[in-house]
Amino acid sequence: MRSALRRFRRCALSAAAGTAVAAIVLTGCSGEGQAASDGPTDEASQEESGAPEDGEGEGEGEGEEEEPAEQVVFDYGDESDDVRELQARLAQLEHFAAQPTGYYGDVTLGAVSEYQRASGIEVSGTVFEGTWEALTSETEEPSQEELFPPEPVFDYGDNSDEVRELQARLRQLDHFDENPTGYYGDVTTAAVTAYQNASGIEATGTVFQPMWDALRAETETPTQEEMFPPVEVPDVAPAQDLDERCLEGRVLCISKTSRTLSWVIDGEVQMTVDVRFGAEETPTREGEFEVYWKSRNHHSTLYDSPMPYAMFFDGGQAVHFSQDFAANGYNGASHGCVNVRDEAAIAQLFDEVNEGDRVIVYW
């Protein structure tokens, strides 16, 4: 082990007997919550107080010594390359899913706790000497790549023109069937995985430098039209079919009857898209609202799922793109949000709608 075992957690107390209290010899500790005595601690003072010598008169448990506290090797808040080794060893046993960082934070504490539970060690979240010895006996010395894994070029949740280029190049090889959007979501992950499988590259769904180099070698630099193809706007709904509240100002007009969302400005319908609503137990609420927050690359912490192009209008309910809706249609439901399955359309809509624009949900 490269790091010295550090930090001892113990305080030693001198025994006391008789009616007088013997002097306490400690470092930063005192008995029964009292401050350490400033009085004499030499032999003369011991004789005056009647303090026993050589353990005489200690009573029950005479001669027994307290077992030394186990040493702490790593603890919350530590930051070093040795913590990076800890994380890499935990990763070998599939208890640490992130990339090693060298910082002992919440993720590492959880991984240590899970390892301790699985190994029958008292769960503390702290790496004591026993935990470290057990872990090192079960794992191999991490390689340099395990300690310092390469950073991805593109990964899930990225949103940029460079991702558009990735999508356009994948489309040249028939691995990406949609128009480039610049957002790295489920569709792009599936396309990257398909390319990796076809090219004999480890299928991770993430783009690392060797894959990016190989893809660029096989494809042409995308044209402007390949990266930004014209958006095909869906047929619009006639204004007379909309709720009258939708005919003034800027409104996302959402009909549960027709299962459509129409983007309306001053009574003129700009766009209409198919939408899906919440299930019976998690219904989409009807009423008049407004867009109070937009989040392009939103990820739900409640349901641990992506919600790209989210436009929140009532608590946690939002209009957003749904890959599940795109893949499975109406054979499913949301948790209350208004799902859109046309990613190109929702991307355009996200750019046009402003916070404060009205939202009408009705039957």
Per-residue DSSP letters for 327-362? HHTTSS-BSSSEEE--HHHHHHHHHH--TT-EEEEE
Give the model's pLDDT for residue 36: 35
| Digitized pLDDT (tens) for each residue of the chain, 363 residues in all | 444 333 433 333 333 333 333 333 333 333 333 333 333 343 333 334 344 344 434 444 455 667 678 999 999 999 999 999 999 999 999 999 888 989 999 989 999 999 999 999 999 999 999 999 999 999 999 999 899 988 899 998 788 889 999 999 999 999 998 888 888 888 899 999 999 999 999 898 999 999 999 999 999 999 999 988 875 555 555 666 899 999 999 999 999 999 999 999 999 999 999 999 998 889 999 999 999 999 999 988 777 788 999 999 999 999 999 988 887 888 889 999 999 999 999 999 999 999 999 999 999
The DSSP bridge partners found for residue 25 are none
Q: Are the CB atoms for 150 and 171 separated by under 8 Å? A: no
Diameter of the chain by CA atoms? 105
Give the model's pLDDT for residue 237: 59
Q: Are the CB atoms for 332 and 311 separated by under 8 Å? A: no
Q: Are the CB atoms for 312 and 295 separated by under 8 Å? A: yes
Residues designated catalytic = 320, 337
Strand pairing class (338-340; 268-276): antiparallel
Angle between helices 186-199 and 209-218 (to 10 degrees): 80
CA distance 341 to 325: 5
CA distance 216 to 204: 18
Q: Are the CB atoms for 139 and 92 separated by under 8 Å? A: yes
Main-chain phi, psi angles of 20, to 5 degrees: -95, 145
Q: Which two tokens stand for residue 139?
A: 């794992």
Give the CA distances from residue 210 to residues 148, 166, 214, 219, in Å, rounded to whole numbers and listed in that order. Answer: 16, 14, 6, 15
CA distance 176 to 227: 12
Mind listing the domains of the chain with CATH numbers? 1-69 (no CATH), 72-147 (1.10.101.10), 161-227 (1.10.101.10), 239-362 (2.40.440.10)
Give the model's pLDDT for residue 239: 60
Give the model's pLDDT for residue 314: 94
For 231, residues 6+ apart whose C-beta sits below 8 A from its C-beta are 179, 344, 345, 348
Q: Which two tokens stand for residue 289?
A: 């609202």
| The amino acid at 66 | E
* DSSP label of 261: E
Threshold 0.85, pTM exceeds: no
Angle between helices 106-119 and 129-138 (to 10 degrees): 80
CA distance 180 to 165: 8
59: buried, middle or exposed (CB in 10 Å: 19+, 13-18, 0-12)? exposed
